[in-house]
Amino acid sequence: MSVAKRIIPCLDVDKGRVVKGINFVDIVDAGDPVEIAKKYDKEGADEITFLDITASHEGRDNILGVVEQVANEVFIPLTVGGGVKSFSDVRDLLSAGADKVTINTAAVANPDLINEVTDKIGRQCIVVAVDIKKSKEQYNVFTHGGRNKTQLDAVNWCLECQARGAGEILLTSMDRDGTKEGFDNEILCEISNKLSIPVIASGGAGSLQHLYDAISLGKADAVLAASIFHFGEYSISQAKDFLRDKGVFVR
Amino acid sequence: MKNIAVIDYGMSNLHSVIKSFQKASNKKYKVCVATTNEDLKKASMIVLPGQGAAKSCMQKLTNSFPRLHEHILNKPFFGICLGFQILFEKSYEDNGVDCLSIIKGSVNDFSKQISQDLKVPHMGWNNVEQKKDHIIWSDIPRTSFFYFVHSYYASAESKEDISSTTTYDIDFTSSVIKDNIFACQFHPEKSSKYGLQLISNFITWSESLK
């Protein structure tokens, strides 16, 4: 028996407020991260991920306040990412109450950061977010929120992250992100099979079947989704029921 | 106001532990950070969280809290994760570390025991099977999910001490209960409503001790 497959809702936070349409009828303030996190916890979310998309430098500190407020009220694992550049950024987020921090661009620019966090704090707190896009011959890794293409090959990069001590990989298919056509299970499966650390699937979920496919075909340990939960199409408990009926071990 | 002392020896993030005890105690207790023996002396209950390696944990604890052993035996005590493992006789982490020997048994390496397909650390939600009828499990279903993060697992020798077990390829001791001590491998402070319920049950149980 393994651990339960996780369902992770992801919330985009801008200047301390949750953005992107959230239309829960029973939430008075849909932009309040604490209210939304509470709602997801109640529905059975296994973890919550906050992605700080604040563009301005001045707004950056808001995320620490958000993490602290949420951690005061919601008692499930919290993962936070977006704009994390240095070891001190990681440490500040963990001190504010985050359990895990995701790094993306900074990991590519300075891969030693992965080793540093692992050595000083432990591998369970570091998640490397890997944004990938298919080209003719390989999947390339992208940084800066998908704006910059690198020559890194997705599979090799994930293996390197693992060797350096990453605790998990959050794999986002840029080709599928926002399409609602399902995860890219081919590359997901290849990477999951090659790694011994958990792989979280992200990008493309449009239905509950897609979540199931990522687990069964893509061999994902967890699925991260935003819009299918935020727009009220499905609740997390519906997703859990669906997976459980298909024989997936879920909480 | 009575207080709950959360031991700080610089090895773990105390934020969620403190907040979860505050929440579960319904503000009836002051939840304080303890850094000295004096702090423990004043406490009504002691909580020992922990992450990281057993060896440096034992070293730091013995340096900062020379009378910790005595306090654990005499006050309601709640150990979490590493704070659970160090109650055993020996941990096989870092080539072997002598621990507090309050619970008979040892702490062993998962990677030497379980199938290659399973990942170490054992991280995520897994089932906790209760082995005892006890107030600590009030209002928590007999088999419930709790959140784990660990690479070493405990095996208690005496069935009497085992409060729950969990399966990760092998069965291991996921919590113990003995006299005034409750300790668990999983993180109640990250285990949603049943985690909070467990903490609240511990407080109720503590009040009945003495």
Q: Which residues of A touch B19 (CB under 8 A)?
A: 71-73, 75, 97
Q: What is the mean pLDDT of chain B?
A: 94
Q: Which residues of A touch B12 (CB under 8 A)?
A: none
Please answer yes or no on whether B126 and A41 come within 8 Å at the CB atom: no
The whole-number pLDDT of residue A29 equals 67
Interface predicted TM-score of the whole assembly (ipTM), two decimals: 0.92
Q: Which residues of A touch B189 (CB under 8 A)?
A: 75
Please answer yes or no on whether B125 and A71 come within 8 Å at the CB atom: no
- Domain assignment present for A223: yes
- Domain assignment present for A206: yes
Verify whether residue A12 is a known catalytic residue.
yes
The whole-number pLDDT of residue A22 equals 52
Chain B residues with CB within 8 Å of chain A CB: 13, 15-16, 19-20, 23, 51-52, 118-119, 121-127, 145, 147-149, 167-169, 189-192, 195-196
Residues A129-167 have pLDDT tens digits of 999 999 988 999 999 988 999 999 999 999 999 999 999
Verify whether residue B207 is a known catalytic residue.
no
Residues A71-113 have pLDDT tens digits of 999 999 999 999 899 999 999 999 899 999 999 999 999 999 9
Of residues B81, B93, B99, B184, which has the active-site annotation?
B81
When CB atoms are compared, the residue of A68, A123, A251 closest to B125 is: A251
Q: What is the mean pLDDT of residues B129-157?
A: 97
Q: Which residues of B touch A67 (CB under 8 A)?
A: none
Q: Which two tokens stand for residue A178?
A: 């926002």
Verify whether residue B184 is a known catalytic residue.
no
When CB atoms are compared, the residue of A2, A76, A196 closest to B192 is: A76
Place of tokens 């995860």: A183
Beta strands in B114-169 (DSSP E): 122-130, 143-150, 152-156, 162-168
Task: Give the CATH number of domain B3-208; options: 3.40.50.300, 3.30.413.10, 3.30.2020.30, 3.40.50.880.
Answer: 3.40.50.880
- Domain assignment present for A250: no
From the list B102, B32, B41, the residue with the least C-alpha distance to B67 is B41
Please answer yes or no on whether A97 and B16 come within 8 Å at the CB atom: yes
- Domain assignment present for A178: yes
Count CB pairs under 8 A between chains A and B: 75
The whole-number pLDDT of residue A27 equals 58
What's the pLDDT band for A20 if we cut at 50, 70, 90?
Answer: low
CATH number at residue A115: 3.20.20.70
d(CA A232, CA A173): 23
Residue-wise over A39-77: b if at least 16 C-beta within 10 A, else e? bbbebbbbbbbbbbbbeeeebeebbbebbbbbbbebbbb
From the list A210, A163, A161, A207, the residue with the least C-alpha distance to A183 is A210
Of residues B71, B93, B99, B189, which has the active-site annotation?
B189
Residues B73-83 have pLDDT tens digits of 999 999 999 99
Please answer yes or no on whether B189 and A75 come within 8 Å at the CB atom: yes
Please answer yes or no on whether B122 and A6 come within 8 Å at the CB atom: no
Q: Where in the sequence is the domain holding A98, given as residue range(s)? A: 6-245
- Domain assignment present for A1: no
Residues A195-249 have pLDDT tens digits of 999 999 999 999 999 999 999 999 999 999 888 888 778 999 999 999 999 999 9
Q: What is the mean pLDDT of residues B17-26?
A: 94
What's the total number of domains in chain A?
Answer: 1
Residue A247's Cβ-count burial label (10 Å; 0-12, 13-18, 19+) is exposed
The whole-number pLDDT of residue A210 equals 96
Cβ neighbours, 10 Å, residue B142:
12
Please answer yes or no on whether B196 and A75 come within 8 Å at the CB atom: yes
Residue B10's Cβ-count burial label (10 Å; 0-12, 13-18, 19+) is exposed
When CB atoms are compared, the residue of A46, A68, A198 closest to B119 is: A198
Scanning every residue of chain B, which has its alpha carbon at the shortest distance from the alpha carbon of A41?
A: B192
